[in-house]
Structure 1
Amino acid sequence: MSAIHRIPLLVLLCLVSQWSYAEIKHGLRDSQQRHMIPRGFVVNTNDHVGPIDFNPEDFFRMARLGANTQVIRLELGQLSEFEGAQFNPDYLRRLQRTVRLGREAGLYTVFKMTVYGVKQFRWQDLYLNNNHQQETYINAWKRIWEAFKDNQAVLGYDLVNEPRKLEMDISYDALTSDYLIPLYEKIIDASLPYSEDKLFLIQTIFMNKGEAINKNQYAEIKQRIDRSNLVFAPHIYQNDVDYIAPTMQRFDKESDLLNAPILIGEWGFPTFLTTDKSVAEQLNYMDFYIRTAEIFDQMGVGSIKAWFLGNRTYQNFLPGGESTWAIFSDRQAIGTVERKYITDIIARPYPQLVAGSIQNFRFDFATRQFELNLIPDNSKGASRLFVAADRHYPDGFSVHIGDDLVLTKQPIQSGLKVHYSSINTNPADFVWDDAKQQLVILAWPHSDKPLQVRITPGIYQDPDPLVTPEG
């Protein structure tokens, strides 16, 4: 796997009509300059009960759900010498195993630092650097940077997860400009001797309970961070359809200010225990999940869903009762019973990696039609489209590559059938990977010219089997 690099580009969000597209002008590129849309899951190493270690099969299940990226949630308590904490070498070995298993399944890794496991952690002590807490925090990161500095499967680091204000008597703007941004710059500077090509994911202040902007509990960032390789990684836990677009438009403006692409670091309002037993509640969840997913795709942003986990524990902090972010309903850490009202939306078709430039793409949940517009560049290598045939196309699907090629995949077929190919195409360049539910394109029919790819449900039928498109 190749290292991924940021390219600073502008996103224009167009929400005029259901079928409007926004040209994708920013994103991540790998070392071959292929356009990548990161999508995947937060992977927990511990929950309230104890450690969690996934099996190789679990990572392939992530891939079959469309993941090409995992975000591993680090516990500061096992990586640092904060009061009450102690570095645990076995924890680092577990992380190395998790990265390796992800890589073997085709997943990149991002590390996210949380303050879990540190008793009596106080955010103001970190901001004010009381007792040299910033150096202690950075030393925890150094263990990760040293261990993974040469690992090309590791994209980068989410430096401070959901930084808080809590009891501090300061405005969110002042806290951000006077303390959070200098902390980010200090952490990034400390990382450079280890890895100059890794990405640095940044978040804004997680606002106090009862405070929010458009019902989203994250403060704005109004000042640039004077460092390179930044990715803006806000979270959105929005269950009000009317506020999803305004929140994403706000993130888009902050992304422009930072000159950093957006990767939604976490998303998806938690589900209640009652929702598993109520069709009405599930339909409601599907409504705002689908709308969120559509806006993500219109903007061309990557997104990481919380959590790839069963729920042996529930939380009880919302008025609706017991809830969880787990996408499996099993009462165990490693779940297998999908909450399909969530997973069918997560696992929607999208371009994972494109040799060229993605102009726009969309999956219509109502018609199950997928459309991708791109400018191909065969000099960059192969491309991968996630199709999710097992859940979205149980009746088979057809692939239309411009006017050059028509392929079909029947449910009982092991490969693709060619219905039509123009003289400049090689159908063997299009390979179906059933294990990962991906369409692999070794080469597009041409380079440098706009090309449209459509995937439609069912098996393509010639309008007149005696008449070919050429005659």
Structure 2
Amino acid sequence: MSHRICKVLVLVTIWLLSPFSFADIKHGLRDNDGRHMIPRGYVINTNDHAGAVDFNPEDYLRMVRMGANVQVIRLEMGKLSELGDNTFEPEYLARVKRATKLGREAGIKTVFKMTVYGATDFSWEELYLNKSNEQETYINAWKHIWEAFKDDDYVIGYDLVNEPRKKDMDISYDQLTRRYLIPLYEKIIDAAIPYSDNKQFLIQTIFMNKGDAINKNQYAEITKRIDRKNIIFAPHIYQEHLDYIAPTMERFDKESQLLGAPILIGEWGFPTLVTTDNSVKEQLNYIEFYIKTAEIFDEMGVGSIKAWFLGNRSYQNFLPGGPSTWAIFSDEQAIGTVERKYITDIIARPYPQLIAGDIKNFKFHFATRTLDLNITSDNAKGVSRIFVGADRHYPDGFTVYIGDDLIMSKSPIKAGLDVHHSTKNTQPSKVVWDKDRQQLIILSWPKNNAQINIKIKPGIYKEPDPAVKIGK
């Protein structure tokens, strides 16, 4: 049976002092074993402005070591469609297949995102109105992907329309969404179902025209439910204003309840100005709003995909501060290795990737470098994985506390885990450190069907000194 990713309903309790409480999360996805999965990863470009981009197995291992368990491959419609002067390019599909294969071999699942890049004579208005069968042409481009990956268990699903636009159409965003975008989504989904009825369909909202925004976020609201199954709400958030991060996520939360679909943030992270690489002040500003965004994601339990896993072979010029990029590496080449650590250390933070049972809540406390995770265990569902990123976050080693049952530590100068405390009938050998992937693997929890608190803290565990009293 394929790895079916089941939807989880959304319901987040709101406190007076905080937009999102540290309460039970209802986001995330489920695999076919019922394990609770938090998808996290990167947008993988097949090209940049200078040409084709193809990654190798070492790049995918770097993604894994930076916390990725999902990649979103950005497809070029111009290479998959017969629109205008375009023709289908089999060699392009072969490149996409290779990227998916490399992801699978590294343990990374795949989502495909259709963009209209390279599509000659493309018009959003013509796509919506469909006077000359433009929608069929669009669907035919998707069919190459659906046919190629219909039986691939590591392909989660399809982001159907990337950042749909309004442009010069004389219509409100709400009416455009209701009258045209939602029927288009339903038509595309209906065409996809015969290929595979267990894939997920990622839904975005209208990318608003320049000068239009809601809480300084350029994405319109969705106010009507999509009458189809297997929906994931995949909004984008590129927000540099601290005061607007939480309101935007609150709004997304309400829209996901309307859709009856979990949130997977399809893209996030305000673009980086070139000047930021040489300015501590600017980097500190980025750190502040990136951390704020990451903390809210984790408190809600939503998955998130960061743009882009690229170097700086090219830049954009649409911000008043000058040339900018979404690339997380600063190399002047497509495939970078020099991290913008003021960004990557936040993206690659510890988190529960896959839990046998239910994730109740979790949060990585940046100030103390502590991961606090609460779960309900279910060993019948299999193996659990927690991304730790020890080389990055714990060069001084780390200690893991699994309830009152186990205390284990990982020294930076030793290969495995040291056991400091274990209760009767526990099996410390069921907790394994995967150095290559920087993951803690739990083969089974010490207690089954139980509420368990897991903490990961910096440093090697030392027995408390009875002569030392707190406050003295």
Q: Could you tell me which amino acid in structure 1 is paired with residue 203 of structure 2?
A: I
Q: Could you tell me which amino acid in structure 1 is paired with residue 177 of structure 2?
A: T
Take 2:67 and 2:119, find their aligned partners in 1: how far apart are those partners? Answer: 34
> Secondary structure in 2 aligned to 1:130?
coil
Q: Could you tell me which amino acid in structure 2 is paired with residue 4 of structure 1?
A: R
Could you list the per-position Cα deviations for residues 25-46 of structure 1 after superposition, in whole angstroms to 9, with x for gaps in the alignment?
A: 2321001000000000000001
Contact 1:398 1:459 in 2 (8 A): yes
1:271 aligns with 2:272: yes
Shift of 1:398: 0.1
Could you list the per-position Cα deviations for residues 379-412 of structure 1 after superposition, in whole angstroms to 9, with x for gaps in the alignment?
A: 0000000001011100000000000000000001
Take 1:17 and 1:130, find their aligned partners in 2: how far apart are those partners? Answer: 49
Take 1:84 and 1:342, find their aligned partners in 2: how far apart are those partners? Answer: 40
Shift of 1:13: 4.8
Task: Identify the residue that residue 200 of structure 1 maps to in structure 2.
Answer: 201
The RMSD of aligned alpha carbons is 1.4
Shift of 1:18: 9.9
Task: Identify the residue that residue 55 of structure 1 maps to in structure 2.
Answer: 56
Task: Identify the residue that residue 40 of structure 2 maps to in structure 1.
Answer: 39
Task: Identify the residue that residue 463 of structure 2 maps to in structure 1.
Answer: 462
Take 1:22 and 1:333, find their aligned partners in 2: how far apart are those partners? Answer: 41
Within a 5 Å distance, the mapping from 1:115-194 to structure 2 comes to 115-194=116-195
Shift of 1:424: 2.3
Shift of 1:449: 1.4
1:9 aligns with 2:9: yes
Task: Identify the residue that residue 384 of structure 1 maps to in structure 2.
Answer: 385
Task: Identify the residue that residue 287 of structure 1 maps to in structure 2.
Answer: 288
Shift of 1:130: 2.4
Contact 2:397 2:458 in 1 (8 A): yes
Could you list the per-position Cα deviations for residues 347-402 of structure 1 after superposition, in whole angstroms to 9, with x for gaps in the alignment?
A: 00000000000000000000101100000000000000000101110000000000
Task: Identify the residue that residue 469 of structure 1 maps to in structure 2.
Answer: none
Shift of 1:10: 2.2
Shift of 1:23: 1.1
Contact 2:311 2:329 in 1 (8 A): yes
Instruction: Give unmatched runs, 5+ long, in structure 2.
Output: 468-472
> Secondary structure in 1 aligned to 2:399?
strand
The change in CA–CA distance for 1:336 and 1:13 in structure 2 (over 3 A counts) is farther
> Secondary structure in 1 aligned to 2:441?
strand
Contact 2:431 2:441 in 1 (8 A): yes
1:64 aligns with 2:65: yes
Take 1:363 and 1:176, find their aligned partners in 2: how far apart are those partners? Answer: 37
Task: Identify the residue that residue 93 of structure 1 maps to in structure 2.
Answer: 94
Contact 1:398 1:408 in 2 (8 A): yes
Q: Could you tell me which amino acid in structure 1 is paired with residue 231 of structure 2?
A: L
1:301 aligns with 2:302: yes
Within a 5 Å distance, the mapping from 1:209-358 to structure 2 comes to 209-358=210-359
Shift of 1:2: 5.4
Contact 2:12 2:21 in 1 (8 A): no
Shift of 1:7: 2.4
Take 1:4 and 1:307, find their aligned partners in 2: how far apart are those partners? Answer: 27
Shift of 1:85: 1.0
Q: Could you tell me which amino acid in structure 2 is paired with residue 73 of structure 1?
A: R
Take 2:116 and 2:169, find their aligned partners in 1: how far apart are those partners? Answer: 18
Take 1:369 and 1:19, find their aligned partners in 2: how far apart are those partners? Answer: 19
> Secondary structure in 1 aligned to 2:343?
helix
Q: Could you tell me which amino acid in structure 2 is paired with residue 152 of structure 1?
A: D
Within a 5 Å distance, the mapping from 1:430-449 to structure 2 comes to 430-449=431-450
> Secondary structure in 2 aligned to 1:5?
coil
Take 2:392 and 2:308, find their aligned partners in 1: how far apart are those partners? Answer: 20
Shift of 1:21: 0.2
The change in CA–CA distance for 1:127 and 1:9 in structure 2 (over 3 A counts) is same
Instruction: Give unmatched runs, 5+ long, in structure 1.
Output: 467-471
The count of aligned residue pairs is: 466
Shift of 1:118: 0.9
Q: Could you tell me which amino acid in structure 2 is paired with residue 216 of structure 1?
A: N
> Secondary structure in 1 aligned to 2:171?
coil
Contact 1:14 1:22 in 2 (8 A): no
Structure 1 length-normalised TM? 0.97
Q: Could you tell me which amino acid in structure 1 is paired with residue 172 of structure 2?
A: S
Shift of 1:441: 0.2
Q: Could you tell me which amino acid in structure 1 is paired with residue 390 of structure 2?
A: A
The change in CA–CA distance for 1:13 and 1:320 in structure 2 (over 3 A counts) is farther
The change in CA–CA distance for 1:327 and 1:2 in structure 2 (over 3 A counts) is farther
Could you list the per-position Cα deviations for residues 238-286 of structure 1 after superposition, in whole angstroms to 9, with x for gaps in the alignment?
A: 0000000000000000000000000000000000000000000000000
Identity of aligned residues (%): 69
The change in CA–CA distance for 1:2 and 1:451 in structure 2 (over 3 A counts) is farther
